[in-house]
Structure 1
Amino acid sequence: MSETVAERRARIRSGIPKEPDPSVPPPKRLLTNHLFWIGVALLFTYAILLVLLYQQVVPDREVPGGRLIGLGTEALPKAAWYAALTAIPLSLIFFFADRFRPQRLWIWLLVFGWGACVATFVSANVNSWAASQLSIIGDGDPATGARAAIFVAPFVEESTKATVLFGIAILMRYRMVSRISGIVLAGLSGVGFAFVENILYYGRVYRYVAQTFGPITPLEAMQSLAFQRGLLTCFGHPLFTSMAGIGLAIAIRHKSKVVRIVAPVAGFCAAAFLHMAFNTTATLVSGPTLMFMYFGVALPLVLAMIIFVVRQMFREGRLIRERLTDYHRLGWLLDVEPQSASRLRTRLRALWHALFLGPYEFIDTVRAQRTLTELAYLRDAITRGIIDDAGLRREKILLARMQELRGRAVLHPTGRARYPKLSFRRKAEIENYPAPSYPGPAGIGGYFPAPNSAAPGSVPLGQTATQYSEVDPNWKPPSQ
């Protein structure tokens, strides 16, 4: 089904991706995809910025007013290990939250890399320059002053972390279908930023304690800071940047032009304000007041965000069920498909069943679930007026694809999965009994071995086989 020039312009205007041509070889399709080359350019950029950041923070450097102690090659692997203990679990949590229509793996990696490489490098240099303009001095590093952490860092860091979200919204706004999508992408950018920032903090405290005399060792100092930053306040950067992700997701899924302008700005301001409040509390507040701010303000905010995400997951499930029910009423989908596609547990169970049927069935099940989810969000966008008539062509393509996959994919699993039959029983060991030679317990149909004294052929058969026991001839009945 070839598209005309008008249809192509309408598709691009609505952000709908082009359906790949199966006649074109996959390598050619990959090399002609502009998103592939954007990803390659970003990877090269990440590598260059990591090298530049390494040269800035690892070796010792002479700065105006003193000598800036670097991380050193000894502290770097230890700091990276403790920072990874926080980054890996948080990333897995965000991966799990993005379940209904998960982003592609390379998008997750690029967003994480943006926060870890681009955002940290730009923020470190801009913060240092802005702090030097405020004439802040602290051990030769102008970025260690309180005013830089309160008035400069929140706006710089939140803007650099959220930039990748706006890039995705421009290039792939069709993929951002819910507030959960904005939260996940923003959270991964924040996790990447916190990962590299924790490496810098852990390495600095390790190197500082190693060059001074004190009651604790450098490793103990690093572990203490890792407990504070990596456990107690690990929610900081992901929580802040999630505000910008929510604002951007609301703008994309809304028809009003006013909301599309105000929502991202409001989300960024909320992220910067939370970041500013956090830095102010951590810098200027101590003692019982700090504990009250932590348990009375910070943790309730985190709990509220968790509740919001869980409610959004249930809300997205209801949205998928309602939109797919429209197609069921028209006869395009079966009655069980809207219910199965809207429940995470049923979707995971279907994947588990398909896993034991074979690789092709598993791939078809994944494609069917993605097709149904995209169909539901496309229907929602059409009803909202976000996508014009260009979505009708995409709708027909998805319905035709679903017709092809329905016979092979597992959509509504019932019963148990087809587990492979594995025999763990050992065969009973058979003793080497001698061959039976006469009827009886060890003969034909017998159950016990013949006695060792009975050799084959030594026992008579027939009438002569009757033997009597010896009787005492002097035996008689007892006398009366």
Structure 2
Amino acid sequence: MATCPPYPTHPSGPADGARRHAHWWQRAWVRYGALITLLALSGLVILALVRQQTGTQGFLVGLGLAVLPVPLLTAAFRWLDRVEPGPWRNLLFAFAWGACAAALIAIVANSFATRWIATATADPSSADTLGATVIAPVVEESAKAAAVLLVFLFRRRDFTGIVDGVVIAGVTATGFAFTENILYLGTAFGTDQLSGESGLASVTAATFFVRVVMSPFAHPLFTVLTGIGFGVAALSAERQHLRRVFLPLSGLLLAMGMHAVWNGSSSFGEYGFFAVYAAFMVPAFGLLTWLVIWTRQRELRTVRAELPAYAAAGWLAAPEPFVLGSMRARRMARDYAAHHFGRAAARSVAQYEAYATSLAFLRHRGRLGRAGADFAVRERELLHELWRRQEVARPALAYAARSAAPAPAPPPWPVYMPVYGTPNYGSPGYGTPGYGRPHPGPAAPPPAYGPGPAYNPYRS
């Protein structure tokens, strides 16, 4: 293997690579064990609570219907994260937190608050309305935001921008909605069993249509606002403490407000739900979708702008910044590696692309003065990971660069084909066997240059 090129110089703070001695409760296996235990216990408790409210048959029906939108939503958020894909363990934690811990907090807190309000006001109907429009948005959005906060604090290297916040928040909300849909659909099925209703006129069908068909994105849409707040905070410098606290709180308050409007739509009249859905939810969904896709494209532009410095230093081949800044070229490189070298090689190419993207984002933060004190250490780690995979990745990326490169623009002047067998001295193929091809007639005469504007070869 060739000798590593020297590390490029970047604007960065002092690196602190020293590792302090960790107490036993600070070790990774202790933290992971405690977290897994917490989520497992929460899952068992929430399972028992939902089954108690819906019954075994209602639970199974609700589970079968509630799982339908989960793969679609998860795939959508994973697609958004393709530029710099985060670890699967972060997504698994987010989904498990939303489905188990956040759902358990919401069920217990909402029930307690609603009962307390009903007892204090002696008006159960107003207590239900107040609980749905005020208590539930605050409790549920706070519980879901806790997952985003934990990833932001303890997985900071994986949380670098708006897309990361959107993905973690969206997957957390997808897990929460999954458990909530089991409860609502299972309860609706129990109601139909008691009343004898079935088919399209049943409560189960109506609940399925509203929660799964019309608004599967509702909970993710609310919590994504919190994720955007954390994502913008992640782009801020570490010294901007007020900004890093104010932005996530602002996103959380917006999520609570949107959630409250959505829950209160049923009290706005007979068509209140449809009015809020058409005038509020759909435009908000479209706007946020445009925002995250635009952010994704901006990330690709950042990759193309920052990586040429490493190509100039010898860490990357010259065409690699172009390939790594195009999702189509990236896919072609992975397919090439899988076809010629196997799945392991394709995984190495995918890892190479992810590390190179992280390197580009790290350099971008360093150039803007937003990198942390471990900038140099992290840069060396990423460059080392790239160098380990270059033997497999570079041929695949070179192929993608040749295949995905834009075609050269046609010349601004007309090109005249010769009669078969007539030499064309201006053609690069002149002199090769079989040069020339049949032509329907004699070559067109050259244009007559008469009076007129000056000839400009760059004019289209």
TM-score category (smaller protein): 0.7 to 0.9
Partner of 2:149: 166
Q: CA-to-partner distance for each residue in 1:64-85, whole Å, 9 max, x for gaps?
A: xxxxxx2111111111011001
Partner of 2:415: none
CA RMSD of aligned residues (A): 2.9
Displacement, 1:37?
Answer: 4.2
Cα distance in 2 between the residues matched to 1:137 and 1:228: 32
Q: Which runs of no fewer than 5 residues in structure 2 stay unpaired?
A: 1-14, 404-460
Change in CA separation of 1:330 and 1:217 when aligned onto 2, cut-off 3 Å: closer
Could you tell which deviates more after superposition, 190-199 or 227-236? 227-236
Partner of 1:206: 189
Letter in 2 for 1:114: W
TM-score with structure 2 setting the length: 0.77
SS in 2 for 1:332: coil
The counterpart of 1:244, out of the listed 202, 226, 233, is: 226
Choose between structure 1 and 2 for higher RCO, CA contacts under 8 A separated by at least 6 residues. 2
Partner of 2:16: 7
Q: Which runs of no fewer than 5 residues in structure 1 stay unpaired?
A: 1-5, 13-30, 60-69, 417-480
Displacement, 1:331?
Answer: 3.9
- The answer to whether the 8 A contact 1:161-1:189 is kept is yes
Letter in 2 for 1:57: V
Displacement, 1:388?
Answer: 4.2
Q: Is structure 2 residue 226 aligned with structure 1 residue 233?
A: no
Displacement, 1:35?
Answer: 4.2
Letter in 1 for 2:244: R
Change in CA separation of 1:141 and 1:121 when aligned onto 2, cut-off 3 Å: farther
Letter in 1 for 2:37: F
Q: Is structure 2 residue 368 aligned with structure 1 residue 384?
A: yes
Displacement, 1:335?
Answer: 1.8
Cα distance in 1 between the residues matched to 2:247 and 2:50: 37
- The answer to whether the 8 A contact 2:192-2:204 is kept is no
- The answer to whether the 8 A contact 2:165-2:224 is kept is yes
Letter in 2 for 1:49: S
Displacement, 1:352?
Answer: 1.1
- How many residues of Structure 1 are paired with residues of Structure 2 in the alignment? 381
Written as runs of structure 1 = structure 2, the 5 A alignment for 1:319-468 is: 319-356=302-339, 357-388=341-372, 390-409=374-393, 410-414=396-400
Q: CA-to-partner distance for each residue in 1:75-115, whole Å, 9 max, x for gaps?
A: 11111011001122111111111111111112111110000
Cα distance in 2 between the residues matched to 1:351 and 1:219: 50
- The answer to whether the 8 A contact 1:128-1:143 is kept is no
- The answer to whether the 8 A contact 1:58-1:73 is kept is yes
Cα distance in 2 between the residues matched to 1:274 and 1:380: 33
SS in 1 for 2:219: helix
Q: CA-to-partner distance for each residue in 1:231-254, whole Å, 9 max, x for gaps?
A: 111111101100111101111210
Could you tell which deviates more after superposition, 323-332 or 173-182? 323-332
- The answer to whether the 8 A contact 1:354-1:365 is kept is yes
Change in CA separation of 1:362 and 1:213 when aligned onto 2, cut-off 3 Å: closer
Cα distance in 1 between the residues matched to 2:348 and 2:25: 26
Structure number with the higher helix fraction is: 2
Displacement, 1:173?
Answer: 1.0
Change in CA separation of 1:411 and 1:72 when aligned onto 2, cut-off 3 Å: same
Larger radius of gyration: 1
Q: Is structure 2 residue 49 aligned with structure 1 residue 56?
A: yes
Cα distance in 2 between the residues matched to 1:32 and 1:353: 46
Q: Is structure 2 residue 258 aligned with structure 1 residue 274?
A: yes
Written as runs of structure 1 = structure 2, the 5 A alignment for 1:83-102 is: 83-102=66-85
Change in CA separation of 1:41 and 1:142 when aligned onto 2, cut-off 3 Å: farther
Cα distance in 2 between the residues matched to 1:363 and 1:307: 30
Q: CA-to-partner distance for each residue in 1:365-389, whole Å, 9 max, x for gaps?
A: 1221122111111112212323245
Change in CA separation of 1:339 and 1:246 when aligned onto 2, cut-off 3 Å: same
Partner of 1:301: 284
- The answer to whether the 8 A contact 1:320-1:341 is kept is yes
Change in CA separation of 1:116 and 1:237 when aligned onto 2, cut-off 3 Å: same
Letter in 1 for 2:71: I
Q: Is structure 2 residue 249 aligned with structure 1 residue 265?
A: yes
Cα distance in 2 between the residues matched to 1:124 and 1:384: 44
Cα distance in 2 between the residues matched to 1:321 and 1:167: 31
TM-score with structure 1 setting the length: 0.73
Cα distance in 2 between the residues matched to 1:136 and 1:305: 40
Letter in 2 for 1:55: A
Could you tell which deviates more after superposition, 228-237 or 397-406? 397-406
Displacement, 1:402?
Answer: 2.4
- The answer to whether the 8 A contact 1:209-1:218 is kept is no
Change in CA separation of 1:52 and 1:360 when aligned onto 2, cut-off 3 Å: closer
Letter in 1 for 2:58: A
- The answer to whether the 8 A contact 2:200-2:206 is kept is no
SS in 2 for 1:286: coil
Partner of 1:118: 101
- The answer to whether the 8 A contact 2:42-2:101 is kept is yes
Displacement, 1:363?
Answer: 3.1
Change in CA separation of 1:72 and 1:156 when aligned onto 2, cut-off 3 Å: same
SS in 1 for 2:367: helix
Cα distance in 2 between the residues matched to 1:41 and 1:229: 34
Q: CA-to-partner distance for each residue in 1:19-74, whole Å, 9 max, x for gaps?
A: xxxxxxxxxxxx99944543343332222222222333323xxxxxxxxxx21111
Cα distance in 1 between the residues matched to 2:209 and 2:30: 40
Q: CA-to-partner distance for each residue in 1:127-162, whole Å, 9 max, x for gaps?
A: 111112212699x99997111001100010000001
SS in 1 for 2:298: helix
The counterpart of 1:42, out of the listed 35, 38, 56, is: 35
